[in-house]
Amino acid sequence: MSKFTIKDFKGVIPASLSIFDINENLDIEATKEFTKFLLGFDIHGLYLTGSTGEGFLMKSEERMETVKAVMEVAGDKIPVVVHVGNIGTKRTIELAKQAKEAGATAISSVPPFYWHFNSKQIFNYYKDIAEAVNIPMIIYNVPLAGMMSAEMIKELSQIENIKGVKYTNTDIYQIPLIKEAVGDDFMVYGGADELASSNLLVGVDGIVGSFYNLIPDLFLKIDGSIKNNEVAKAYALQKNAVRIISYLVDGGNMVAGIKAVLREAGINAGYARKPFINFYGEDQKNLARGLVDLANKYDMKNIHVIDKLREKY
């Protein structure tokens, strides 16, 4: 059982990478080491086996092996939420039970996708999971899986054990409306990295994102600036974050790009699974050099991974 509650799951939360070796095999020792790397920045929580964690490219057994490895390192230090989403309700419930047994603070899931399920089917999917496993659940609004309306989120919030929503979209005006509709006890998390400062300003309980694996210190500074009412400072830091995000997203291979830059900085983040296309050799070096050039152009300072790359270039 987790020593944390869902109310402890707030602040800056990496949607953690899953670590595979060059042959696409799960690397448990590297998973533990990467978790220690993230903990070194005093992050506030972890979100496992989601989109960034390549959860849909993993067997159920591999997802749980990853969870157990992370929990061994981080479970008594910070709250950990496990994404258990799958198209099928039965398999999702199986993963949810295993996540609870591993000591997760909560579970999370995207809506069922691919078959364009209607609102009743999606509602039942979440209801069935929440009733089958007595652990807090965070539902997930994300365009890749289909967006739920604010009204549906309100309906789902009435189900016991559904305690929050991860909201990954650019129409963040919906966030205060959701908060107003469901009440302050229902947790809302901003999931768009490029809007972290804006999400914090409109009142999310935490921010969960991919680039917090690469530049967690920058997002922690953004969070701290907002808490200190230093909005102009937060905005300036956010601009640098957006520049870094845009640079790596423009390649169309975000997860592989993040992992490549971390590897080049001497941090074993492993490789992405196919059909993602990894960076090797000169391509990896050029990607890292380009990031250093970008950071130098905009005088970005005191960002750990970029400073490690500067030592090389």
Our separate counts of H helices and E strands in the chain read 12, 8
Catalytic residue, chosen from 10, 166, 179, 221, is 166
What count of residues does the chain have?
Answer: 313
Question: What is the DSSP pairing of strand 187-190 with strand 137-141?
Answer: unpaired
Does residue 79 have a cis bond before it (omega within 30 degrees)? no
Catalytic residue, chosen from 47, 125, 126, 140, is 140
Q: Are 32 and 69 in contact (CB under 8 A)?
A: yes
User: Is 167 among the residues known to form the active site?
Assistant: no
Helix or strand or coil: residue 15? strand
User: Is 140 among the residues known to form the active site?
Assistant: yes
What are the strands of the beta sheet with 187-190, ordered from one edge?
A: 11-14, 206-209, 187-190, 162-167, 137-141, 106-109, 80-83, 46-48
Helix or strand or coil: residue 191? coil
Q: Are 312 and 299 in contact (CB under 8 A)?
A: no
Catalytic site positions: 140, 166
